[in-house]
Structure 1
């Protein structure tokens, strides 16, 4: 039958591509459906086009970075960790390296290298690729997948792998199609929030501090219920808020809280982890060695000059006076601000600026040993569609590859 396949993969991102290759290498007749005119649009944009594929962490450490649900990945990672990914990419003639010893990239530092290699492998294996094909429904009979309906055709099939991704980057085609498809079959989709994105703040003083990247910043939520939520990394101030690697990681924790509260108070340690006592000693010692230096010059030994000016203003201290001439109460206030600078997160730009989606298909309804649905036989999931997301640094792409690799094996519960 012309429209009969062993497997249909829906979505041509990292997860869908590797799932298609794995199944085809096992001799399956595979059809890969993509709703856009080209494959892998989001993969092409990953890491600013440089494509941070994965990282060098052990599986245990890797899973811990995903939080309490991280162990769901154990079977997938045991079968396909970063070392296996490197070997797989080498098998399709893509060389990789880790220039900083942690993040792994293609040596070309171009995501197009990855996409071209996958296209060549799909062609070699005889995988049929159809673009501009949007799946409108999954056909099920007696709790088993029997087909796929697109706007143009009905395809008979024994198995379907959904790799449709989340809601992040709608300009690259993300519409959350997969969520609607599985909800129609009775699957639960958890609350969805944008993640990995800049955050907007109520305050405006940071607008004057946009020129510098502040290294090794620690962020934490200043709400009793969420005190444990913290992140560390480089931060950049923007016209209306904050961005940078630490903010991308932190945003995945903050955006769900913003649904409960209009404002989320946060605290920033901008002084590379120094506490009040250490900051006081630095300022006091610098003042003793240079008694004519102004307070802003002393603070500048810890922070960029524009930021030093703004924090002096917040402490209601004239920036051009010397340390010894500052009122003790105001001096304490400045030191407190240097240890933990308060900001108030009030919003974000929604999914249009989100790299990933927080939330997805409930993990309770997916078999972690196979990636198969516990509700519908022959239906498999992989990648961002599921309720599992990690921080920056190759985590989410490795998870997409690992889950896609496992799903593509089309294991069943009996196996």
Structure 2
């Protein structure tokens, strides 16, 4: 009764598609989930909208993951964004890319995705058991032989670990996969929370919370890390910054923060304008309306709340005319407008992290199959591995692609 061809541990994006693929290959499949329902984190993805993938070609896609990106080559060859769209279309989910880049289910509802995956699992007669936490991997002579849960033992010559990372522990992420893998000799890299709001030393942003700033560029103001930057929408919070640009930037910041304690950054809040651009902007605004003050001059590029705070940093009265301000203060204002200094001092840890940076070492996993190089029959897929990307459908595409490849059980 408890013997299967394949056991999949974890029912996120990677786990469900792995179970589906194994089922389509005619395998007897068991899908184990420690929570009472499948796909809790998948349902919450993208605020419930579920950005499945994006339209980048495979080379550009892999480049976004940095030095480990090419590990995905075989998985993406098997299931790139076009194939993923076809997969979902085949199980009744229509998708679209309203901005030409990010791909969503039509209706932008993650429940659509979850329901379709569950229906396909049921159609394939995959045995689904919830409220089953795997506590031990069983093996014999360097070959996996099954799993032990809180209540039972299940046997199989193939086990796929799809347990995710540490982000959002309320949705079941507790790092189970790392513990299970290490019990059979696998190494896990250092783990950092990623994709989350950041806390700043400066508190002036609390007065700017009502406004979203578009096309903000953030970069690390440390010579060694000068190439680390991100561009996107930013929102000030009570104690720091959030928004898409911050989610991407946090991936780079958290490892540095753990070493240094705080990280100075530069924010360009003026849509990429440099100091010369800003001076020209003032000149043009003054020509149009000689009686306008600094705040009025800047309203076309920044909200009033931000203008007033940046003027305070430069010790400038925003109600004055730009040409009436003392030269050194004028220069300081232009500098701050082009390069606003901020200091990242912390974050709220894994409880607010959408993904985990780090994971099971890729050196110990065969990228052609997702099978362990140490234990035959043991496979990995999704976020549990040491590979993460930015916002925009990257991490879900990787989860689906790696799960799809793992589910093929190729030696």
TM-score (norm 1): 0.98
Report SS of the residue matched to 2:5.
Answer: strand
User: Which residue is equivalent to 1:324?
Assistant: 323
For 1:211 and 1:125, locate their aligned partners in 2 and report how far apart those are by CA, in whole Å: 49
User: Which residue is equivalent to 1:117?
Assistant: 116
For 2:409 and 2:70, locate their aligned partners in 1 and report how far apart those are by CA, in whole Å: 21
User: Which residue is equivalent to 1:197?
Assistant: 196
1:284 deviation in Å?
2.0
For 1:349 and 1:42, locate their aligned partners in 2 and report how far apart those are by CA, in whole Å: 18
User: Which residue is equivalent to 2:294?
Assistant: 295
1:207 deviation in Å?
0.7
> What per-residue deviation string (whole Å, max 9, x for no partner) do you get for residues 200-245 of structure 1?
1000111111111100010000011110100000111111100000
User: Which residue is equivalent to 1:252?
Assistant: 251
> What per-residue deviation string (whole Å, max 9, x for no partner) do you get for residues 283-339 of structure 1?
122123322211222122321111001111100011221111111111111000011
Over 4 Å off, 4+ runs: none
> How do 1:105-184 and structure 2 match up within 5 A?
105-184=104-183
User: Which residue is equivalent to 2:220?
Assistant: 221
Moved more, 99-108 or 288-297: 288-297
Report SS of the residue matched to 2:167.
Answer: coil
1:124 deviation in Å?
1.1
For 1:8 and 1:121, locate their aligned partners in 2 and report how far apart those are by CA, in whole Å: 17
For 1:288 and 1:80, locate their aligned partners in 2 and report how far apart those are by CA, in whole Å: 57
User: Which residue is equivalent to 2:271?
Assistant: 272
For 1:381 and 1:226, locate their aligned partners in 2 and report how far apart those are by CA, in whole Å: 31
User: Which residue is equivalent to 1:339?
Assistant: 338
For 2:226 and 2:246, locate their aligned partners in 1 and report how far apart those are by CA, in whole Å: 17
Report SS of the residue matched to 1:5.
Answer: coil
Report SS of the residue matched to 1:291.
Answer: coil
What is the alpha-carbon root mean square deviation over aligned residues? Answer: 0.8
Report SS of the residue matched to 1:4.
Answer: coil
1:121 deviation in Å?
1.0
For 2:225 and 2:382, locate their aligned partners in 1 and report how far apart those are by CA, in whole Å: 28
Report SS of the residue matched to 1:246.
Answer: helix
Unaligned runs of at least 5 residues, structure 2:
none
User: Which residue is equivalent to 2:9?
Assistant: 10
Moved more, 8-17 or 93-102: 93-102
Report SS of the residue matched to 1:313.
Answer: helix
User: Which residue is equivalent to 2:87?
Assistant: 88
1:313 aligns to 2:309 (yes or no): no
1:114 deviation in Å?
1.1
Moved more, 123-132 or 295-304: 295-304
For 1:87 and 1:230, locate their aligned partners in 2 and report how far apart those are by CA, in whole Å: 34
For 2:22 and 2:107, locate their aligned partners in 1 and report how far apart those are by CA, in whole Å: 27
1:268 deviation in Å?
0.5
For 2:94 and 2:305, locate their aligned partners in 1 and report how far apart those are by CA, in whole Å: 43
> What per-residue deviation string (whole Å, max 9, x for no partner) do you get for residues 53-87 of structure 1?
00111001110111111010000001100111111
User: Which residue is equivalent to 1:97?
Assistant: 96
1:108 deviation in Å?
2.5
Unaligned runs of at least 5 residues, structure 1:
none
